[in-house]
């Protein structure tokens, strides 16, 4: 089955810490069959960030998260088999999926 990729993938030869892009509240922590462990965080300004392919998840639903706080470590998923240290990241603004690359180095007020 083909699954549309709606985010960006990061991979490394070594595992790396995954941090929240903004402060917010964890609204979902779930193990997904193909994408591995997933954490969803709701931020202000109708922004939602989704972090998939994680291992060692350190948060739970209802946790208040600060910008830059570690939520887990890079892990693996069935879609990307070349590396065991992946992060699949998705960003939603106003309910619409957006390209995360368009928002690097922007402040919250610029979004």
* Model confidence pLDDT, tens digit, residues 75-89: 876 566 555 788 989
pLDDT in tens, 29-86: 998 777 789 999 999 889 999 999 898 899 999 999 999 999 999 987 656 655 578 8
Joined tokens for residue 33: 């069959």
Strand partners, 49: 41, 91
Q: Which two tokens stand for residue 6?
A: 């709606």
pLDDT, tens digit, 9 for 90 and up, residues 6-32: 788 888 888 899 999 999 999 999 987
């Amino acid at each position: 089955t083909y699954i549309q990729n709606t985010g960006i993938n990061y991979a490394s030869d070594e595992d790396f810490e995954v941090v929240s892009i903004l402060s917010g509240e964890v609204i979902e922590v779930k193990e997904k069959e193909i994408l591995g462990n997933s954490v969803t965080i709701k931020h202000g300004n109708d922004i939602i960030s989704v972090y998939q392919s994680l291992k060692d998840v350190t948060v739970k639903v209802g946790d208040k998260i600060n910008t830059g706080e570690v939520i887990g470590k890079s892990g693996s998923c069935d879609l990307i088999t070349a590396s065991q240290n992946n992060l699949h990241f998705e960003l939603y603004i106003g309910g619409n999926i957006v390209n995360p690359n368009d928002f690097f180095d922007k402040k919250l007020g610029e979004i």
